[in-house]
């Protein structure tokens, strides 16, 4: 646990030593800020967080793999991974540590958007249930994308490949929800159950359902275990 | 000095990469005791790095086993890793961190208590002479400095075993001497394995040399013993230089040819130097010391004898041992 935290701390620091964290935060704030701005100036302003929660799934789908692409690929390319894994840490502790750092970056970014909520509250009664649910949902969903991206980062020492493959996986998960009309009715519930969006929307309504939490938890779990197994494959005999 | 404790035990270790039928490391066995500095020499691709990667648990052996400090590197890998300080080839370090941040990170992962950390940093900074640059970004350091940071990182938890993969490659002569001194100092009480291409280095630094070729151990002895092995098989080689004019030199050479025990005379040039006409490499038969006769041959031809010296044997030992067995049979 302590070693995972040490790794998470280093990774988190590394984000802010490189342009990645700043680019991600600035782009995210620009897009979400713009959405709020147009909502307030053109439409009838409503006291809710829809502008943020509406577009975020797509933003995270694109940026998640960019945040995670370097986690393992870069260390593989530069050779530092060998140094790291020769320390007395298990592969699982390394995976968890790096994942925690990526989630920390997203959580930090989301925290910066909190003032929007207070601002919007000025336009009328803001129902805080969906706001809290929305933030929780966003964090869970983003973590899901990050776990996918981390997994693809273990597979290659090329960061671009890690990002592109990660994005393909994330986009597939994102699309599942949009494909509902195209699949035969008997398949629809399955597709819906696999969709990122579906589970997110249900949490974002302020309803915290165990099934939604389980969905994200199991997706994250599966990806991290696959990542650990891939990392460990160097020691298979 | 070496004591009885076996710090590294390698038994029939074999590593096969993927579907490659030829093992990278083929049934090698050796023990290293506390207080030994073991030099690992061999051509590129001989299996040095693979062996080291198995010892630090980065790779798993295909068969056979290895223990470090009594712990199996596969079954008890975390315990084994706690005993080891490791520096891989090319010193991969996080370039975006300062030296101190990096050492802090390693200390946290190694769970060195913060109270002890200060004393440890002071110790390794002193030993590796990096005290002045603790605040510098690693990416901005010279290669020599980076190497010392890599060593400091490996020494931070005061390990019992130090494993270094080509710690002096790519450094300038002054830096090489510095690194060598750190290794020697550490090796007085602890155990060191390091690999190198630079053969004089093992003569200076190591108490023992293992020559590895094609995944197998072909020599295991002290540096001086290694030199003797070759002389016993092939006879001595002497560098001889005559002076005193062309006529005298060629007369001396003729005289030398008649000496019994001299099997070959070839013009000899030191690497990187210009050819000098009176300089020869003289091969002798096994067990014959012809140095006196060389002196007489020079005197008889009225030539001056400028030099008689043993030809630096380690390169030859190395080449001799790492040749394929069929070549050796024909030699």
Query: Which is more confidently placed, A52 or B63?
Result: B63
Q: Choose the closest CB to A17 out of B60, B81, B96.
A: B96
Report chain B residues whose CB lies below 8 A from the CB of A90: 78
Specify the pLDDT at position A45: 60
Residue B328 reports pLDDT greater than 60: no
Per-residue pLDDT, averaged over B64-90, amounts to 94
Per-residue pLDDT, averaged over B264-277, amounts to 77
Report chain A residues whose CB lies below 8 A from the CB of B112: none
Residue B331 reports pLDDT greater than 60: no
Best of A1, A3, A7, A10 to mutate (most B CBs within 10 Å, chain B): A10
Specify the pLDDT at position B330: 41
Residues A157, A162, A163, CA angle at the centre, nearest 5°? 140
Best of B51, B109, B169 to mutate (most A CBs within 10 Å, chain A): B109
Classified as helix, coil or strand, A81 is helix
When pLDDT is cut at 50, 70 and 90, the band that residue B112 belongs to is very high
Distance CA B15, CA B58 (A): 12
Report chain B residues whose CB lies below 8 A from the CB of A86: 56-58, 81, 84, 86, 88
Token pair, residue A41, equals 């100036």
Query: Which is more confidently placed, B158 or A192?
Result: B158
Inter-chain residue contact B60 with A2, CB threshold 8 Å: no
Inter-chain residue contact B90 with A79, CB threshold 8 Å: yes
Specify the pLDDT at position A46: 64
Cα distance from A3 to chain B (closest Cα, Å)? Answer: 5
From the centroid of its chain, how far is CA A133?
16
Per-residue pLDDT, averaged over B161-189, amounts to 88
From the centroid of its chain, how far is CA A189?
24
Residues in chain A, pLDDT under 70: 43-48, 51, 237
Query: Which is more confidently placed, A61 or B288?
Result: A61
Enter the ipTM: 0.88
What angle, rounded to 10 degrees, do the helices at A128-155 and A159-176 form?
140
**Among the listed ranges A201-210, B42-51, B58-67, which one has the minimum average pLDDT value?**
A201-210
When pLDDT is cut at 50, 70 and 90, the band that residue B164 belongs to is very high
Residue B9 reports pLDDT greater than 60: yes
Inter-chain residue contact A10 with B97, CB threshold 8 Å: yes
Specify the pLDDT at position A91: 95
Distance CA A56, CA A142 (A): 9
Query: Which is more confidently placed, B43 or A50?
Result: B43
Nearest to B259 by CA among B283, B243, B235, B281: B283
Per-residue pLDDT, averaged over B177-186, amounts to 88
Inter-chain residue contact B53 with A82, CB threshold 8 Å: yes
Query: Which is more confidently placed, A36 or B181?
Result: B181
Residue B319 reports pLDDT greater than 80: no
* Residue B157 touches partner A, C-beta closer than 8 Å: no
Specify the pLDDT at position B329: 45
Best of B92, B93, B160, B167 to mutate (most A CBs within 10 Å, chain A): B92
Distance CA A188, CA B143 (A): 60
The number of distinct structural domains making up chain A is 1
Residue B171 reports pLDDT greater than 90: no
When pLDDT is cut at 50, 70 and 90, the band that residue B315 belongs to is low
When pLDDT is cut at 50, 70 and 90, the band that residue B168 belongs to is confident
Beta bridge partners of B221: B209
Query: Which residues constitute the domain of residue A42?
Result: 2-236
Q: How far is residue A143 from each of residues A57, A212, A217, A234, B198, measured CA to CA in Å?
A: 11, 13, 9, 26, 50
Specify the pLDDT at position B314: 64
Give tens-digit pLDDT for B232-262: 767 777 888 888 888 888 888 888 888 888 8
Distance CA A207, CA A49 (A): 15
Residue B127 reports pLDDT greater than 70: yes
**Among the listed ranges A181-185, A193-197, B210-214, B323-327, which one has the minimum average pLDDT value?**
B323-327
Burial class (CB in 10 A: 0-12, 13-18, 19+), A16: middle
Specify the pLDDT at position A48: 66
Percent of chain B exceeding pLDDT 70 equals 92
Token pair, residue B106, equals 């390693």
Query: Which is more confidently placed, B148 or A36?
Result: B148
Nearest CA in chain A to B62: A237
Residues of chain A with a CB closer than 8 angstroms to some CB in chain B? 2-3, 5-7, 9-10, 13-14, 17-18, 78-80, 82-83, 85-90, 234-237
Tell me B98's DSSP state: B
What is the distance in angstroms between the CA of the first residue and the CA of the last residue of chain B? 38
Question: pLDDT averaged over chain B?
Answer: 86
Report chain B residues whose CB lies below 8 A from the CB of A22: none
When pLDDT is cut at 50, 70 and 90, the band that residue B325 belongs to is low
CA Rg value for chain B: 24
Q: Choose the closest CB to B61 out of A17, A87, A237.
A: A237
Per-residue pLDDT, averaged over B46-56, amounts to 93
Inter-chain residue contact B94 with A13, CB threshold 8 Å: no
């Amino acid at each position: 646990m302590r070693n995972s935290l040490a790794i998470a701390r280093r990774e988190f620091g590394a984000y802010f030593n490189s342009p990645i964290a700043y680019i991600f935060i600035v782009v995210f704030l620009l897009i979400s800020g713009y959405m709020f701005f147009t909502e307030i100036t053109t439409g009838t302003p409503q006291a809710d967080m829809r502008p943020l929660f509406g577009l975020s799934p797509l933003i995270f789908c694109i940026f998640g793999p960019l945040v995670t692409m370097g986690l393992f690929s870069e260390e593989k390319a530069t050779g530092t991974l060998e140094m790291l894994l020769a320390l007395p840490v298990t592969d699982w502790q390394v995976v968890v540590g790096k994942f925690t750092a990526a989630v920390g970056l997203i959580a930090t970014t989301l925290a910066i958007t909190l003032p929007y909520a207070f601002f919007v509250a000025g336009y009328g009664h803001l129902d805080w249930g969906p706001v809290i649910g929305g933030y929780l949902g966003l964090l869970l969903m983003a973590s899901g994308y990050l776990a996918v991206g981390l997994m693809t980062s273990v597979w290659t020492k090329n960061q671009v490949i890690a990002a592109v493959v990660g994005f393909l996986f994330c986009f597939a998960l994102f699309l599942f929800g949009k494909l509902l009309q195209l699949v035969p009715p008997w398949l629809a519930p399955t597709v819906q159950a696999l969709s990122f969006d579906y589970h997110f929307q249900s949490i974002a309504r302020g309803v915290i359902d165990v099934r939604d939490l389980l969905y994200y938890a199991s997706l994250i779990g599966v990806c991290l275990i696959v990542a650990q197994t891939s990392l460990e494959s160097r020691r298979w005999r | 000095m070496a004591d009885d404790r076996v710090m590294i035990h390698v038994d029939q270790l074999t590593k096969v990469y993927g579907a490659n039928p030829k093992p990278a490391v083929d049934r090698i066995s050796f023990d290293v005791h506390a207080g030994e500095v073991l030099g690992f020499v061999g051509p590129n691709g001989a299996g040095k790095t693979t062996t080291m990667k198995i010892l630090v648990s980065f790779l798993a052996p295909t068969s056979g086993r290895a223990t470090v400090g009594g712990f199996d590197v596969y079954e008890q890998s975390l315990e084994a890793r706690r005993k080891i300080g490791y520096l891989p080839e090319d010193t991969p370090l996080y370039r975006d961190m300062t030296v101190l941040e990096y050492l802090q990170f390693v200390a946290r992962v190694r769970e060195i208590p913060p109270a002890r950390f200060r004393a440890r940093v002071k110790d390794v900074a002193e030993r590796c002479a990096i005290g002045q640059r603790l605040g510098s970004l690693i990416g901005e350091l010279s290669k020599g400095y980076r190497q010392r940071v890599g060593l400091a990182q490996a020494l931070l938890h005061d390990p019992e075993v130090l494993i270094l993969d080509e710690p002096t490659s790519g450094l300038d002569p002054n830096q090489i001497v510095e690194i060598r001194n750190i290794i020697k100092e550490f090796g007085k009480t602890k155990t060191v394995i390091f690999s190198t291409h630079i053969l004089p280095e093992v003569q200076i630094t190591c108490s023992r040399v293992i020559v590895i070729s094609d995944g197998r151990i072909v020599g295991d002895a002290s540096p001086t013993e290694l030199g003797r092995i070759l002389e016993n098989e092939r006879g001595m080689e002497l560098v001889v230089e005559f002076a005193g004019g062309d006529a005298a030199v060629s007369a001396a050479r003729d005289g030398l040819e008649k000496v019994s025990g001299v099997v070959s005379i070839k013009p000899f040039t030191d690497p990187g130097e210009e050819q000098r006409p009176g300089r020869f490499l003289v091969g002798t038969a096994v067990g014959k010391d012809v140095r006196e006769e060389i002196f007489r041959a020079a005197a008889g031809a009225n030539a001056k004898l400028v030099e008689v010296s043993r030809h630096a044997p380690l390169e030859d030992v190395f080449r001799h041992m790492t040749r394929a067995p069929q070549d050796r049979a024909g030699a």
